[in-house]
Structure 1
Amino acid sequence: MARPRPLPIDPLAEAKRQWLAHGWTDAAEGMAVVTSIMRAQQLLLARVDAALKPFGVTFARYEVLRLLAFSRSGTLPLSSVVARLQVHATSLTSTAERLVRDGLVRRDPHPHDGRAALLSLTDAGRDLVERATAALNTEVFSSPGLDAGDAKELVGIVARLRKNAGDFTDPRPLPEPL
């Protein structure tokens, strides 16, 4: 896919100028924050999608695989995956079904809770997530488009935004995001 040419002006700066010109001064900075973060998310997701395309997984599926691979046994209750990834149970169920269909995870009944299910990483899932992680590390995470100082500052700023929105209460584990 050809990369589009850069625009001669920043459309988000122009949007802010328009907000100010229309007298929405109290909302202009907030509009610029929201639209800037949303545009940055689009740009980063495009890079992530390109890195994951050869593996046939979306970032949502990758996150489930990576979380399972980080667990001691490669197995977690579905409810724990929902909580840790901060997604709706319905979305995770759909994602898990695709991973099961592709042979990357197993969905097993919980041994002590008949209403719960466990997700377990298969050998194929473990192999894929390790290869996908290497690709993401090389193609996206090692050079996100900011120098190390700006990256650290941005992570801290976004962590404060998330904390103020009620996303979490305790900033641990280390390193501290704030």
Structure 2
Amino acid sequence: MSPKDGPLPFDPIDEAARQWGKRWDRVPAMHAVTSLMRVQQLVIGRLDAILKPHGLTFARYEALVLLVFSSRGSLPLGKMGERLQVHPTSVTSIVRRLVEDGLIVRLPHPDDGRGVLAEITPRGRELVTAATRDLVATDFALASLTEEELGQLSELLRPVRRDAGDFEVEASS
């Protein structure tokens, strides 16, 4: 059943957890990961819908924002992949589409003859501003959560990201 057909009369993740518990252990972990994956689908779908009128997906928007955040408005493609935490092939694809749309340009790296820089164009900066305005107006598709809940969610997910190597663990003082 799809959301256009209306909500189910029960929570399918709760039902899956009930069934899981009859066969296997770790019901809370299964319930949490299934909930997380479903929310990820919902949020990405909503973000992409908000960004579609701008001709962007969330992945392309993130790449543009990364370039806006950079001190020169440009970054090597390898650095973009590291910071966006995506495979080099994905960066190449994202950059290619943004170049086709005139939102960034590819330039030879001034210090590395083999390297390539992606640099945001004035049109790309304008688009980031407009798209960001729309995302902020919808609380990035998370308007059903309070400010406190948003902070709690971020903190709950931090150990998972840390353990995956997204960032270094801060030394204890």
Shared fold, TM over 0.5: yes
When the two structures are aligned, how many residues end up with a matched partner?
A: 168
User: 2:138 aligns to what?
Assistant: 139
- Extract unaligned runs of 5+ from structure 2: none
C-alpha contact 2:107 2:119 (8 A) present in aligned 1:
yes
SS at match of 1:39: helix
- Extract unaligned runs of 5+ from structure 1: 172-178
Q: Deviations over 1:146-171 (max 9, x none)?
A: 11221111110111111122222146
C-alpha contact 2:46 2:141 (8 A) present in aligned 1:
no
Q: Structure 1 residues 4, 166: CA separation in 2 closer, same or farther (over 3 Å shift)?
A: farther
Percent identical residues: 48
Q: Structure 1 residues 133, 4: CA separation in 2 closer, same or farther (over 3 Å shift)?
A: farther
> Equivalents in 1 of 2:61, 2:166: separation in Å?
21
> Equivalents in 1 of 2:11, 2:18: separation in Å?
11
TM-score (norm 2): 0.91
Say whether residues 1:53 and 2:52 are aligned partners: yes
SS at match of 2:138: helix
User: 1:127 aligns to what?
Assistant: 126
Amino acid at match of 2:52: K
Cα deviation, residue 142, structure 1: 7.7
SS at match of 1:57: coil
> Equivalents in 1 of 2:86, 2:42: separation in Å?
21
User: 1:166 aligns to what?
Assistant: 165
C-alpha contact 1:47 1:140 (8 A) present in aligned 2:
no
TM-score (norm 1): 0.88
